[in-house]
Chain A
Amino acid sequence: DVKVTQSSRYLVKRTGEKVFLECVQDMDHENMFWYRQDPGLGLRLIYFSYDVKMKEKGDIPEGYSVSREKKERFSLILESASTNQTSMYLCASKRIGSYEQYFGPGTRLTVT
């Protein structure tokens, strides 16, 4: 079974803090994604990565950056957290050419 894990289930951070969200997948998938999920808005793509050291902006990249130094790990960075970044963050991965994305359990981030 594909396993996608996220470093934390719940996080509480203060405005202005730098926040790291980590995602690890164990199936050697090339593609990895970060989404945020908000009620009534569904999932919105923040950033994705085709492969190691590659990254592309999604629909809402402002205020975020990413890092992919190893194939299995994709990190989402909030350089200076703000209250409007309070959300559920979901990581996903998939193999190139495949149609199915595998999701992690999510990190619920609260910025106060």
Chain B
Amino acid sequence: GEDVEQSLFLSVREGDSSVINCTYTDSSSTYLYWYKQEPGAGLQLLTYIFSNMDMKQDQRLTVLLNKKDKHLSLRIADTQTGDSAIYFCAETNLNSGGYQKVTFGTGTKLQVIP
């Protein structure tokens, strides 16, 4: 079945850039997502990228997709303490028929040091 992997923990200093990496196995992935989970809260969609794109930028967030290597990354510029959260990579295949299952990664806990 599909698999999505992430490192479990990342620590950065406030003001630095953070890069959270993700690898996936489903070569037919249609959408790839980044969700953010703040302490004590549910997940919130942060950004997404279509599989036919290489890059997407949204203010401080840059998503890079290397489809050949099945590698997705999320870069957060000028990381702030409010960015401390768990970040989940996820993918879905809209061509699989029936329900388009979303497969989530294990989550990367980002700790921002003031």
By a beta-carbon cutoff of 8 Å, the part of chain A in contact with chain B is 4, 31, 35, 40-45, 48, 50, 56, 90, 92, 99-101, 103-106
Contacts and interface: CB of A to CB of B under 8 A. Distances in A.
Given A50-B99, A92-B42, 19 more contacts: A35-B104, A42-B4, A42-B88, A42-B104, A42-B107, A43-B88, A43-B104, A90-B43, A92-B43, A99-B31, A99-B48, A101-B102, A103-B42, A103-B43, A103-B44, A104-B42, A105-B41, A106-B40, A106-B42
Contacts of A99: 31, 33, 48, 92
Residue among B8, B101, B102, B106 with the highest chain A CB neighbour number at 10 A: B102
Contacts, number: 44
Contacts of B107: 42
B105 to A, nearest CB: 5
Contact of B45 (A31, A45, A101, A105): A101
Nearest to B106: A42
Q: How large is the interface on B (under 10, 10 to 19, 20 to 34, 35 or more residues)?
A: 20 to 34
